[in-house]
Amino acid sequence: MIKELALPGPEQPVIDESRLLAEFGGDREILAELRDLFLAQAPPLRDSILASLDTGNLVDLVRDAHSLKGSCATYGAPRLTMVCKEMEMSGKAGDLETARAYRDAFETEFVALSEGIKRVAQN
């Protein structure tokens, strides 16, 4: 049985730029560097997670979902953080079916975050 994914509501931003600004002392240059780093590193993790779901490779799924979860938490992205956490936990439990059930939410939140993070530090 797949548990309902309790994402933060629509009032919760995909990425919390104000929290990031506060965390990094308002330095938009640092945020721009973090944005660029995320945009370079996250797509290969996404691709590996999707491939792991397709092939059933739970070892890679757990590793990559954990890595992306940490990056998302750092960037103030609670929605994708939660999806990655659920996929990681399902993988650790050996429950590929449940991990695969989160695929649509994963892809939707990844696209939303990727679009949102491109705007970070541009203001």
Residue 99 domain-assigned? yes
**Amino acid type, 108:** T
Residues 6+ positions from 51 with CB-CB distance below 8 Å: 57, 60
Q: What is the pLDDT of residues 70-99, one digit of tens each?
A: 999 888 888 899 999 999 999 999 999 999
| Residue 122 burial (C-beta neighbours within 10 Å; 0-12, 13-18, 19+) | exposed
Residue 53 domain-assigned? yes
Residue 6 domain-assigned? no
Global pTM value = 0.87
Q: How far is CA 12 from the centre of its chain?
A: 15
Residue that is written with structure tokens 């993988």 in the block:
91
Residue 109 domain-assigned? yes
Q: What is the pLDDT of residues 59-77, one digit of tens each?
A: 999 999 999 999 998 888 8
Q: What is the CATH number of the domain that holds 67?
A: 1.20.120.160
Residues 6+ positions from 61 with CB-CB distance below 8 Å: 49, 52, 53, 87, 88, 91, 99
Q: How many domains does the chain have?
A: 1
Q: By residue range, what is the domain housing residue 100?
A: 17-118
